[in-house]
A and B are shown apart, each in its own frame.
Chain A
Amino acid sequence: MTTVGQQLIVAAIPALPALVFAVLVLFGRLLKENAQYVAILGVTVSLVFSAFSLYYVASNDGTPIEFSVPWIDLGAGGTFSMGIYIDSLAAVMLVVVCFVSLMIQLYSGAFMEGDSRFAWYYAILNLFTASMLGLVVAPNFIELYVFWELVGLCSYLLVGHWYEKPSARDAAQKAFIVTRVGDAALFIGIIMFWRATGTTAFDEISQAAQAGFIGGSALTAAIVLVFIGAVGKSAQFPLHVWLPDAMEGPTPVSALIHAATMVAAGVYLVARTYDIFVQSETAMLTVAYVGGFTALMAATMALVKKDIKRVIAYSTVSQLGYMMLGLGIGQYTAGFFHLYNHAFFKALLFLCAGSVIYAMNTYSLPEMGGLRRRMPITFWAMVLAGLSLSGIFPFAGFWSKDAIVASTYDEHYYVLFGMALLTVFLTAFYIFRAIFMAFTGEPRTQAAREAVESPGIMTGPMILLAFLSIVSGWVGIPSGFGVPIKDYFADFVTPSKFASDTLGLEAHAFSFQLAIISVAVGLAGIGLAYFLYVPKPERAAQLARRLAPIHTFLDKGWYFDALYGLVFVQGAKALARGIRGFDRRALGGLVGGVGRGAMGTGGFLQRFQTGGVQNYALFILFSVLLIGILVGALAGAQWTLLVVALIAVTTVAAFAVGARL
């Protein structure tokens, strides 16, 4: 690079929201409702700067912007530096994060109106944005980890924003603790890499791994640990349990954090460290299968949920599984493309849900119904997002989802192909189930009858995102499709040469058959949802009754929460009880015992204080005799003298103290 000016602009991208955070923390009380304007201004500027950096990287053929300053210098131990590294991957991510954050902050102005902690909400939202941006531009593990943790903290604060609700408090704690497990694994992985290679920068570690500084099982172990960190943050199996509960937070928070950005951090991490991942086949397979399994599992859980946000939450988990699956089988571009598309339509889904919640003040699907006529904008936006999610041509989701599904087939991962295809079916089903339950039929409650469309500041972002949900995929239309639009995305976001060489994958032409299959499966899912929920809505209830055990199993989240609760929570409580018992009885008894011992000794010695002079004389003579015999006869004259002197001094001192000299 780069002139100082350009460096400053790039550095300002994460710094501006952080500055907004500081301002809002300090002056939030004064600003009150005006906090949103300060925040929106900050994010808009960041967005402009991100667009600039994207343009710069694109026009320079993908050469990354990078600079750094040393931060901690351990001398012989090495230096940790803080810096900025923006390549094509990061540039796209920056724009996505800034844009979605901007939409959310606009939307929140109306959604959070009247909230008692309005300015604080915006402050943490901006801290989150700053942390996410910092995470994206991090060139080394340490900086990444710092922002990783910050992002987790902000998630905790935002999920627990309405901390008067005990469920919100619990959900925030659960989110934090579960992701903490992942974070711990990530940190161990970082340490392993650092110890083996002496550096924490991504590219240097990759080179060191190639050179053999860390290899074989150690490399696999370390990178799998890093992946576990991603699993935690992206709510993959088995650390997925926190995401549905995190819906206790305000809906815009769910849209930003748990749809578009924070949960994408895990996927981003895998993409970022791709050069290291490709060096371990086991790790790649792990990523792929965990992703595939999670996608399927979460889709099944979403089938039966009655809370509209929970459905969308499980959908997020499922889609993240898709992205991991894509990355795991070597489709760097496809996986990240899905992340990019997913950010838009998932955020839109959440905003639509938020719109419904704002209008009806309830999350519960059975209480809705017939909102199509009363909230048309929300309805159509949600339908568009749903179609994109289901991967229907020509919406955005189709291009990325199809790329992943097709490549599982092309690369001969047939099990994963089956799982992915089944998930397509289930995805289409559950999202349209939610849409049909909420918007079609007759209103089932009074609130549904009286719902009105949301204000413009909420529907505006929704419309914009709906537009993007359709067209965002069109920058990545593969050339084999026959449309004269260049595949910009694939040209821009590519794995490094080293990664491509290591993977040794051949490019496959666009396959019409596979595309038709996946679209057909998606349409089948929509059709089934229609059949069960629209003409005669009781059909769904009948089916649920007939398949009751399965229904319960899915509804309880495959009993994961119960299992974790039993093993970890009850286990921790039992340990705490045990420790408390030990503390009380053993240590407390010890302390008490010391006291009792002292009193007992005192009581025993008290018997010697008879008050009789001759008694005392007897004791003295006896002691002198004893000392004389023992010390004098056994140890000699000098020792006797020493002992006698010691006793004399002690006696005098005791007397002096007693007489208060």
Chain B
Amino acid sequence: MTVAFAFLAGMTLVSAFGVVVSRNVVHSALFMSGSFLGVSGFFVMLNAPALAAFQVLIYVGAVTVVILFGIMFTQRPQARRFRTIINHQFWAGFLVAIGVGVFLAYLLAVEDWGQTSAGNGARDVAAFGKDLLGVSPGSEIFALLFEVASVLLLVAVVAAIVVSRRKTGEGVDRGVE
């Protein structure tokens, strides 16, 4: 288990790092999906296999594709130098990020979380489903949350269409240039 943990941690973090520093945007997108896969592996280790499946389906599947579409529509040439892809906040951001990371890691690691034991997650898809829909005892609130999430998704779809809609008379999108 530790081996798996180490491997997955390395994969996730290296990919995350790659997202940030790669000069090619498409490479960034692919690194991102690699990171997602690592997280998915973590989910499996944490007794939530259904969630792992969701992660892969949604993130690696849908989100990556959407991002790639976005890249395609706003394509620009690959940057030749590292300097071009970053703004002047490089070191300030680095420090702040280090600060945030250390702060969080410290807090989370030293806090006494009480009795912890692995294995409380729902292994079973059926149990997971009952949790998610608010059927199993102790998770009643999820009935409401589920519906709210649905409404949110609807609103988001409508909003996306409205925002990105072409004003009348602007002409046909000539596509990739």
Contacts and interface: CB of A to CB of B under 8 A. Distances in A.
Interface stretch (B31-39, B91-99, B128-136): B91-99
B99 to A, nearest CB: 5
A621 B103 contact: no
A625 B100 CA distance: 6
A contacts with B: majority SS: helix
Interface string B98-131: 0110010001000000000000000000000000
Contacts of A621: 96, 100
B168 interface: no
B102 to A, nearest CB: 10
A618 B87 CA distance: 12
A614 B87 CA distance: 9
Contacts of A622: 96, 99
A548 interface: no
A628 interface: yes
B89 interface: yes
B99 A614 contact: no
B103 A614 contact: no
- Interface of B (DSSP majority class): helix
Contacts of B89: 614-615, 618
Interface in A536-590: none
A625 B89 CA distance: 17
Interface residues of A, number: 10
Interface in A622-651: 622, 625, 628-629, 632
B119 to A, nearest CB: 29
Nearest to B98: A625
Contacts of B99: 622, 625, 629
Nearest to A626: B99
B96 A625 contact: yes
Given A614-B89, A618-B89, A628 B103 contact: yes
A449 to B, nearest CB: 105
Interface string B63-105: 0000000000000000000000001010011001001100100
Contacts of A618: 89, 92-93, 96
A338 to B, nearest CB: 98
Nearest to A622: B96
A147 B87 CA distance: 87
A202 to B, nearest CB: 86
Contacts of A612: 87
A276 B60 CA distance: 112
A625 B103 CA distance: 8
A340 B57 CA distance: 124
A628 B105 CA distance: 13
Contacts of B87: 612, 614
21 contacts: A612-B87, A614-B87, A614-B89, A614-B93, A615-B89, A618-B89, A618-B92, A618-B93, A618-B96, A621-B96, A621-B100, A622-B96, A622-B99, A625-B96, A625-B99, A625-B100, A625-B103, A628-B103, A629-B99, A629-B103, A632-B107
Interface of B: 87, 89, 92-93, 96, 99-100, 103, 107
Q: Give me the 5 closest cross-chain CB pairs, A-B, nearest first.
A: A625-B99, A621-B96, A622-B96, A618-B89, A625-B100
Given A612-B87, A625-B100, 13 more contacts: A614-B87, A614-B93, A615-B89, A618-B89, A618-B92, A618-B93, A618-B96, A621-B100, A622-B99, A625-B96, A625-B99, A628-B103, A632-B107
